[in-house]
Structure 1
Amino acid sequence: MKTYWLNRWETIRNSFWFVPAMLLVIAVGLARIAVTLDHQLTQFPFAFPDIGFTGGAEGARSVLSTIAGSMVTVAGVAFSITIVALTLASSQFGPRLLRNFMRDPGNQYVLGTFIATFIYCLLVLSSVTSNHDNAFVPRLAVNISLLLALLNVGVLIFFIHHVATSIQADHVVNGVYEELNQHIAQFFPDELGAHPARDQTTGQPLTGLFHRIVPANHEGYLQAVDRASLRRLSEQLDCQIALSHRAGSFVIKGSSLAVVLSDTELDESLDSELQSCFIIGKLRTPEQDPEFAIHQLVEVAVRALSPGINDPFTAMTCIDRLSAVLCTLTGRAFHPVSWYRDDGRLQLVEQPLDYSGMLNASFDQIRQHSQTDVAVSIRLLEGLSRIASHCRTAEQQEAVLRQADMIVQTRRESLSEAEDIADVEQRYQALKDELRQLG
């Protein structure tokens, strides 16, 4: 259940309506409170101090109408600027990067502030009356609207600066890199060797006279798996569960989500309960997919290397960030793929995720799209050299060397200039010397 609500919260965070809706609710409450206070103040004998708005009913209507109309206009301009920025980001950095712009709290609060001020002015305007017997001018509420108007001027200036900054390539890459670091800390919190080694293999014998395939009830991307619920069901049913996919994989309707093995035949009614442990959606999400943000950086790099954009410097920036993340991962312990009960019996087996897979996800596509770009090839080898200096296991060293071998092999075949090949070979030799020193 916790996994389900975390998935819902991730969806809400990526929406463009949640923060404006919350600010709209606050505006309604503020208007109600301000008007009520104005009604209370009219019952006191002292005069309201001459600060801010001091006009009558017609003046209050004019001020509130002007502010409300201005906010609608400014909100429309802000929305248009946002659409232009999203279009530019989609064409230059890739459509999957739109998620980062939509979840940007700066854009959400700006749009929400303009709309909230508009609603506040309308509600206060409806409370102004000019009857001689029952005239009412909410001076406190009108003064608050003037303060909100001044605030919105500052918000508009901030918004223009924020949009101009947010579409810069280095800013986009750094934003994805910071998100990736947060995911690494979440998915791999333990230091390598800080805890006793746990079984990392999928070769555990799954025993049981009966086996049942849990089918997917619709196609889409596997966004999250509720491991806690699956382990609880495993204990209740006295069975073993083997997952067929990792979070981030695309599944077909009717295909296997998991295989359940038991000594007793399981009822078909359990399928719905098991299926509820798997959240399948239209899009990939980062909540249980550590490769999600890596693929975003890779997409920016690959687009930068395309003939239409031809921006190798952005690609090299992405390589630097990816190598920094992979250096961090060399010291992190990957979570186990086999989970056991307290009595030592196997209950849940997941699809493995290892360091070699993360390295390949980071560099494979960039390597394939930069075969004739010497500068990017050299930066790839330099990034691998940095990673090699942090390697702690033989698996990590083999993965780095394998990636370097493929880079050098394709460059020997695609490059014709001898000096360029020599530069690539020099970095390759430095990488091998680094690995040789580590033993």
Structure 2
Amino acid sequence: MSTPQGSRYRRPKPLSPLREHLRDTFWFAPAFGLALTVLVWFLAALVDSEVVSLLREWGSYDELGELIGIAEDAKTIITTVSSAMMTFIGVVFSISLVAVQMASGQLTPRVVRIFVRSRITKLTFSVFLATFVMSLLVLAGYEGETDPRLVSSVPLVQSALTMAMVALSLVLFIAYVNSTLRLMRVGYVLDRISREAVAVLRKQERGWEEGASLGAETARISYEGRAGVLRDVHIARLVRVAARRGVVLRLIPRIGDFVVPGTPVIAVHGGPAPAAKALRHSVSVGVERTFHQDLGFGLRQLSDIALRALSPAVNDPTTAVQAIDRIVQFLSVAVALPLGALHHREKDGTVRFVQSVPAWGDLVDLGFSEIRTVLHGNPQVSRRLMAGLDDLVLLAAGQQEGHEEQEGYEDRCAPLLRHRALLVEMVERTAPEAADREFALRPDRQGIG
């Protein structure tokens, strides 16, 4: 079997699926923040008790009395913070959910995942809850006794931490409002989607290298579990299991396919099938697609936004043009890659797991087919689409010249030229006047610049 090209090969990360799955949840960060808050409060309480013990040993009762006075003054502020924080949290996030609902209605329902995966959103919510819990714990630590000779603990460090968390909450609130307002702007959402989609391409780039002979297929392993969308697979675990058995595993469906119980998901080549328990939890199925390993999910979202913008109810061709900009951006990166299949190797470079991904023609069809069929009557969109196809044809021709004999670089221009011809045919069929047809088919990177 072939080996990777030197240091270019990057082994899969064992915790990568877990990290991505936690990013797609909204409960983990707040729960972790609350647990951390309790730990910090406990350590601060120990420090406060130790400070009181040292001052009593030194006989510094005057200093201890001053600390008690400062802590009593801080108690008023902390009481106010405790009573107001939950109300503040409820109002802020209620408004935010309304903003997200508006964005999902105007763009696509899949924009909600941007809010769920937002680091600033999770951090803000976690700090708000942590501040509330810390204030309650600190108030519980106050003693009714004010005599320096009888008091056992003065929550001074705890109060200082609470004040610091209040200040941090205010700073995060400003950042959070800014982030939420950007979520309502179509340009920011499109940029976020395109950056994540290109990042998936970059992550998988080193897996598209010279392939290997898989050998005869010897077995198939069926999926057992609830029906849903194939979100991702645990690559590191599959490579490890295949190496132990001396076989090559191949993923049969693509990431993003809907699978039901009994569907064959993994083919075994070159030997007996591993035990079913060895592959348990290696295939992740959920209710919706994710960006983790799904090469076409970004294009799906961009296409959905363009289609929503071109619907009669919205009629926003400028948003469709912005979506086409990002589709062209994604395809301009993908055109330089062989695509087809990813080969994952173990440490010595032996291929152990093969994962099918969309080919170049599939990505082009996903990006342009549906938009092309609904853009009639919108010359701005047809002009931008024509310019995008022409730009991609130039890039594809350049890539083809440098990879004539390399596998995976079949005729890259053919799908683009097919969509260009279909676009011309559609405009000629729907625009009755020759002048309108000429205007609608004139390439323009701004649509109507």
Same fold (TM over 0.5): yes
Aligned to 2:363: 358
Following superposition of structure 1 onto structure 2, how do residues 78-227 of structure 1 map, counting pairs within 5 Å?
78-131=92-145, 132=147, 134-135=150-151, 136-189=153-206, 198-199=210-211, 207=216, 212-218=219-225, 219-226=227-234
The answer to whether 1:369 aligns with 2:368 is no
- Whole-Å separation in 1 of the counterparts to 2:232 and 2:106: 30
Change (3 A) 1:49 1:380: farther
Contact 2:14–2:237 (Cα < 8 Å) also in 1: no
Change (3 A) 1:322 1:46: farther
Structure 1 residues 161 and 25 mapped into 2: Cα distance closer, same or farther (>3 Å)? Answer: same
Instruction: State the 1:332 CA deviation.
Output: 2.4
2: CA distance, partners of 1:92 / 1:339 = 40
The one-letter amino acid paired with 1:379 is R
More displaced 10-residue stretch of structure 1: 399-408 or 221-230:
221-230
Alignment partners' CA distance in 1, 2:92 and 2:199: 30
Summarize the Cα distance change of 1:117–1:337 in structure 2 as closer, same or farther, 3 Å threshold.
closer
- 2:261 is the counterpart of 1:253: yes
- Distance (whole Å) between structure 2 residues aligned to residue 147 and residue 346 of structure 1: 52
The equivalent residue for 1:395 is: 411
Aligned residues with identical type, % of pairs: 24
Residue aligning to 2:45? 35
* Distance verdict in 2 for CA 1:213–1:72, change over 3 Å: same
**Structure 2 vs 1, CA of residues 356 and 306 (structure 1 numbering), >3 Å: closer, same or farther?**
same
Distance in 2 (alpha carbons) for counterparts of 1:172 and 1:102: 13
Q: Please show how residues 285-324 of structure 1 align to structure 2 within 5 Å.
A: 285-324=290-329
Taking the aligned partners of 1:51 and 1:292, their CA distance within structure 2 comes to 62
Q: Using the TM superposition, give the Cα deviation of residue 381 of structure 1 relative to its aligned residue in structure 2, in angstroms.
A: 0.9
- Structure 1: stretches of 5+ with no match in the other structure: 429-439
Do structure 1's residue 21 and structure 2's residue 28 form an aligned pair?
no
8 Å CA contact 1:198, 1:336 repeated in 2: no
Residue equivalent to 1:436:
none
Contact 2:231 2:284 in 1 (8 A): yes
Aligned twin of 1:12: 22
Aligned position for 1:415: 431
Structure 2 Cα separation of the partners of residues 324 and 316 of structure 1: 12
CA distances 1:36-77 after superposition (whole Å, capped 9, x unpaired): 2222222322855999994464x4543321111111111111
Task: Tell me, in whole angstroms, the C-alpha distance in 2 between the residues paired with 1:272 and 1:139.
Answer: 54
State how far apart, in whole Å, the 2-side matches of 1:199 and 1:277 are. Answer: 23
Q: CA 1:149–1:241 in structure 2 vs 1: closer, same or farther (change >3 Å)?
A: closer
Contact 1:52-1:143 at 8 Å conserved across structures? no
TM-score (norm 1): 0.82
**SS of match in other structure, 1:395:** coil
Note the alpha carbon deviations across 1:153-174, whole angstroms, 9 max, x for none: 3333333232222211111111
Cross-structure match for 1:433 = none
SS of residue matched to 2:383:
helix
Normalising by structure 2, what TM-score? Answer: 0.80
User: One-letter code of the match for 1:221?
Assistant: V
Instruction: Give CA-to-partner distance per residue, 1:301-345, whole Å, 9 cap, x none.
Output: 111112222221111111111112211222223364678999999
Structure 1 contact 3–225 (Cα < 8 Å) conserved: no
For the residue of structure 2 that corresponds to 1:310, the secondary structure is coil
- Matching of residues 41-60 of structure 1 within 5 Å: 41-42=51-52, 43-44=54-55, 45=60, 48=63, 54-55=69-70, 57=72, 59-60=73-74
1:127-180 per-residue CA deviation (whole Å, 9 max, x = no partner) reads 111225633542333233233333333333333232222211111111111111
Find 1:65's aligned residue among 79, 83, 89: 79
- Any idea what SS the aligned residue of 2:412 has? helix
Alpha-carbon distance in structure 2 between the residues aligned to 1:261 and 1:173:
41
Change (3 A) 1:342 1:79: closer
Query: d(CA) in 2 for partners of 1:95 and 1:108?
Result: 20
Aligned residue for 1:244?
Answer: 252
Instruction: Give per-residue Cα distances to partners, 1:348-393, cap 9 Å, x unaligned.
Output: 6654532111111111122122233211111111111121221112
Distance 1:345 1:64, change over 3 A: closer
